[in-house]
Structures are given as C-alpha cells and as structure tokens.
Copies of this chain bind each other. A is one copy, B any other.
Amino acid sequence: MDATDQKILNTLMADSRISQKELAARVGLSAPAVAERVRRLEEGGIIRGFTIDINPEALGYPLQAIVRVRPLPGKLHIVEQIIQEIPEFGECDKVTGEDCFVARLYVRSVSDLDNLLERIVDKAETNTSIVKAKPVERRMPPFQLS
C-alpha cells in the first residue's frame, strides 16, 4: 500500500470500468503492473468488490430518511429482524448510546415513510429525519503513508 495504490483506489472509485491500459496510464505504470496491484488489493481485502452506484430517485425513491431506532425492552432482536426484512432500509448501523440503530430509509413519499414505520412503532421508539441535502457523499479517507 503506497501512493500508487492510493491513486489506483481513487481512480477506480470514480470509475471502475476503465481498462487496465487506461488505469495504468493514469497512475503512471504499465498495464500488467497495474493489473497485479489491483489483484493484490483485492486479495488483501482492501478492494471488497466491484459494484455500481444506483440512483434511488431514478428507481422511484425520491426521499431518504435517517431513522434512529430505540427498541423497547426485550424487543431488540425482533426490531433488528424487521429492519432487515424491510427492503426500503438501505443501510443500518447498530451503535452505542441511547439509540440502538441508525438506519437509512428510501421512500416514495412521506406517507410511504409513515406506513413503513408503522411496522415498528409498537416495538421501538423512533426518531426520523428527512434528508434535505448531501454535503458529503461516497468518500473514503486517505491511506496514511509512513
């Protein structure tokens, strides 16, 4: 893991579909050399996978909400299971503190939001915030040299 690997990661993060030749040119190496580095980044678990970035709006989900969830006593596992079973939850973190879960919900409308939260209101307290903007999106901290 050096500065070249960092460049490779940044480049692939922005566009992972460029050819090895193109990637090599951008980081200043030959194609086989860059291919070998990408292979090692994958084997080392630094690159977890190649994927696509999907626009939820275009899928029909123009609204996002951040939902903090505090299950009632004894309801933690059932609440976690319900969150996993509702596909509109795009990510969910189990965290320390008063809230047990912080989750992102993709919804079609505020009434849709209300309907979905109905499924946990009797098992948890929730606190919902609508996402108005995204000051930071899809970013990874730099690898620190030395």
Contact = CB atoms under 8 A, between A and B. Distances in A.
A94 interface: yes
A108 to B, nearest CB: 8
Given A49-B53, A51-B53, A66-B95, 6 more contacts: A16-B51, A47-B52, A84-B136, A89-B139, A94-B135, A97-B127
Interface residues of A, number: 63
Contacts of A66: 93, 95, 102
Copies in the complex: 2
Contact of A61 (B12, B130, B141): B141
A130 B95 CA distance: 5
Nearest to A58: B46
Contacts of A134: 91-94
A50 B48 contact: no
A87 B16 contact: no
Contacts of A144: 60
